[in-house]
Structure 1
Amino acid sequence: MAIVQTPHAAVSARPRRPARDTGIDFVRALCVLGVVLLHSIMVGVTVADQGPVFTNASDGTAWIAPLSWLLQVMPLFFVIGGFSGLLAYRRTRERGGTAIGFIAGRLHRLLRPAVFTIAAVGVGLALLTVAGVPADLIATAGFRYGQPLWFLGVFLLCQTLLPLLASAHEGAPHRTITVLAAAAIAVDVLRAVTGLEGLGFLNLAFVWMALQQLGFFLADGRIDALRRRTRAAAGFGALLVLVATFASGLYSSNLIANINPPTGALLLVGVAHTSLLSLHRERLERFSRRPRVAAFTGFVTVRTMTIYLWHMPVLLVMAGVTAVSAMAVGDTLPALDSAGWWAGRPLWLVTALALTALAAVAFTRFEAQPAPQATASRPRLVVGVLSGLIGIVLLLVLGTSVATALIAVALLLSALRLCSQEKTSPSPVTGVLVPA
């Protein structure tokens, strides 16, 4: 009788990399930078006779499609999230921790900085209301702020399900990722056949969980164990299929359009990015150890969620100050996508990065505090996670206003309390996206 080696044993037999992969940290930091740059360049501010106008500067432009091929990093972000999350969960179990403790730690590191940011935005909107700013402008600001919060909700869901998905991965790795990817494609097909656009939002779960599952394979060393030719072929094949879907009209060539709702195109992007990452991993690790590169990586690594949560408020403040300043001096702002507008983009982007960095330094303590020890039962944990998700979805669906911000903060605080005790002690889980 042949001896069947379990998936876990097979993975353990492979040589392990050090717990800290500085190359992966560096790529994650680049992803965060890419998100801030993409959102920054999409901010459009003009002044009309009736007052300031805030729009998406990329609407109807030809440049957003090729730019999205460069800066659509969310698929890779979730792959790296799966990589880091699986390693962190396994270390938690090795230290005697539980799945409940792991999930509670993730929830705290994601929602604690979000509570402060949402509260600050709510106060800011209240001050604008008192100052007499038109309601439509306040509503636009609240809507723009809430848009990027989809990531917070989806990442919370993926990390909450990580212990369950990790168990499925250890038992049936290929079957699990195949089922998730097939479900994502099935949603795209049903959406196209029925014309019901709302069906596409089911892929907020299937697409991102499939990409997180791909990160598990990277953490196991399964991908790096493949021949370089095989990995290169997988990445190139995914790219060819992606281009074919663009040419056929199946998916939009604008990868930003493929994120709301998510489509199977993002799975192909994730495969291509993961192939590149695996092929150049050793080189990236060597490069990441250079002093200046390491300093950049270290700055972003401990502030990942803070940067993500604060970059949009920073951009909204910049847009408001730009419009008010122009009206105060009677200046005319350049038309969007004009030569004058492009000439001002470098200064705009540098200012956005600098102010976001300052905000991140100021508010890092909300992300860096150790998570309290989890004492919640499984039902309390489930209710806590649902409370947090409902608070985020509320802002996404209804937009951010003084009222919705207040309700969301209450729901997020409830989620944090349900998943911890009053007296805190350091948790073995020390980061959301970063291996300890």
Structure 2
Amino acid sequence: MTDTLARPLATSAPSRVHRDSSIDAIRVVLLVAVFALHAMMVGVSVGPDGPILQNALEGQAWFGPVSWVVQIMPLFFIAGGFSSYRHWQSMRARGASSSEYVRARLERLVRPAIALVVVVAVALIALAMSGMPADIVATAGFRIGQPLWFLGVYVATSALVPLLVRAHERARVLTPVALLAAVVSVDVVRMATGIEGIGFVNLLLVWLLVQQLGFWLADGGIDRVRRSTLGAVAAGSLAFLAVLTVIGPYDVDMLENLNPPTVCLVVLGIAQLALFQLVRPRLRAVTDGPDASRLVSAVGERAMTVYLWHMPVLIALAGASLVAESTLGVPLPEPLSLEWWATRPIWLTVAAMAVVPVALAMGRFERGPRSSRRPAGRPALALPHGRSTVVD
């Protein structure tokens, strides 16, 4: 197996980016999962001192094991590594420089974020001036801004793709091993000193390592690993994760392992990579049809928009719930009560319906003006019909 992973499939550098329907599909699935998780976290109620906006799932003992399923950021970065590897190979084959690649990535990722920051800043100022309690405004701003951490790290890891692809091509095993050693070292120093700030060095190292796993997927080496081996890797990784969290010093909650990122996310990412590789043929079969392909493309063209704007939409709906309670007497169920759980399907449906028009309206910032989608003097990047990128 070591020899298999040490050697990529023999391929020439592509001059075009050939989309992989399984990658596009899994990113849409992950985006929906993030939206659903954040929607379930919204807890709105009215206490003796006024309205309360809280994370309904925070501090729940049962959520730790559940987080092993809903913590999907490692797979997000793996998929991102796959696409970034293919994209950079294509641009490099056409004579593009690394700076041109980085500029293109920044334009695609940062443009929709600027629109979000401007609109949200104006809205928060308006709320504060309208007399909304300061703690509610602060909580709303904090929750809306949470997804931006991902964007910041994703931009940083994307900017380093040309450098790390070169490292991957020269030492595809040694590079992730070195990154893993660095991640573990940061964890050890953080725990030994008790200085939590040291752990935030892993905010870059962990995600660079997980992105590197996507390079392994992109160069075809993992395609030759037997399914039985993939199953063993997934099971072994999850077993090791159990040792790290149940016996070892790490929190069982994988969301807690985000702040700061720990080696647990790397182990979880390896398990997710193996499981994803097992289901890739099925994903391709499902998404290669014209209807599924159009759906994936429609979401993919606006993926970063959906990611950035789903929290403002959820917070706005939470505010509307409070207004309905105070003006119309519409009761708000206590978070985590039986009534609250019973109303979650309705809440998720309404939230999804509210996100769609926002994504359609704000998606123009992600796609950019037509004239800027193809650099002057460079050939258009040909894509197979019906394929588009998802937070590429």
CA RMSD of superposed structures (Å): 2.6
Residue 47 of structure 1: SS of its match in structure 2? strand
Alpha-carbon shift at residue 15 of structure 1 (Å): 12
Where does structure 2 lack aligned partners over 5 or more consecutive residues? Answer: 1-5
Q: 1:331 to 1:343 in 2, by over 3 A?
A: same
Give the equivalent residue in structure 2 for 1:351: 350
Deviates more, 1:221-230 or 1:22-31: 221-230
Counterparts of residues 120-199 of structure 1 (less than 5 Å): 120-199=119-198
C-alpha separation between the residues in 1 aligned to 2:160 and 2:287?
Answer: 31
C-alpha separation between the residues in 2 aligned to 1:27 and 1:92?
Answer: 24
1:93 aligns with 2:92: yes
1:50 aligns with 2:49: yes
C-alpha separation between the residues in 1 aligned to 2:98 and 2:371?
Answer: 15
C-alpha separation between the residues in 1 aligned to 2:389 and 2:182?
Answer: 27
Counterparts of residues 9-24 of structure 1 (less than 5 Å): 11-12=10-11, 19-24=18-23
Alpha-carbon shift at residue 372 of structure 1 (Å): 8.1
Alpha-carbon shift at residue 67 of structure 1 (Å): 3.0
C-alpha separation between the residues in 1 aligned to 2:365 and 2:305?
Answer: 8
1:297 aligns with 2:316: no
Counterparts of residues 16-415 of structure 1 (less than 5 Å): 19-369=18-368
* Residue identity matched to 1:344: T
Q: 1:83 to 1:370 in 2, by over 3 A?
A: farther
Alpha-carbon shift at residue 349 of structure 1 (Å): 1.1
Structure 1 contact 372–427 (Cα < 8 Å) conserved: no
Give the equivalent residue in structure 2 for 1:393: none
- For residues 152-187 of structure 1, the C-alpha deviation after alignment (integer angstroms, 9 at most, x for no partner) is 000000000100011111111111111111211111
Alpha-carbon shift at residue 196 of structure 1 (Å): 1.1
Structure 2 contact 28–300 (Cα < 8 Å) conserved: yes
Structure 1 contact 79–215 (Cα < 8 Å) conserved: yes
- For residues 216-248 of structure 1, the C-alpha deviation after alignment (integer angstroms, 9 at most, x for no partner) is 000001111222222222221111101112221
Deviates more, 1:162-171 or 1:363-372: 363-372
Structure 1 contact 370–427 (Cα < 8 Å) conserved: no
Deviates more, 1:285-294 or 1:153-162: 285-294
Aligned length: 381
Where does structure 1 lack aligned partners over 5 or more consecutive residues? Answer: 1-6, 375-422
- For residues 325-384 of structure 1, the C-alpha deviation after alignment (integer angstroms, 9 at most, x for no partner) is 11223454221111011111111111112211221111111111269879xxxxxxxxxx
Q: 1:197 to 1:223 in 2, by over 3 A?
A: same
* Residue identity matched to 2:326: M
State the identity as a percent. Answer: 43
Residue 254 of structure 2: SS of its match in structure 1? coil
Residue 12 of structure 1: SS of its match in structure 2? coil
C-alpha separation between the residues in 1 aligned to 2:14 and 2:371?
Answer: 34
C-alpha separation between the residues in 2 aligned to 1:202 and 1:176?
Answer: 18
Residue 54 of structure 1: SS of its match in structure 2? strand
* Residue identity matched to 2:219: D
C-alpha separation between the residues in 2 aligned to 1:218 and 1:85?
Answer: 11
TM-score after normalising by structure 2: 0.90
C-alpha separation between the residues in 2 aligned to 1:10 and 1:72?
Answer: 31
Give the equivalent residue in structure 2 for 1:399: none
TM-score after normalising by structure 1: 0.82
Structure 2 contact 245–251 (Cα < 8 Å) conserved: yes
C-alpha separation between the residues in 2 aligned to 1:8 and 1:266?
Answer: 25
Q: 1:365 to 1:18 in 2, by over 3 A?
A: closer
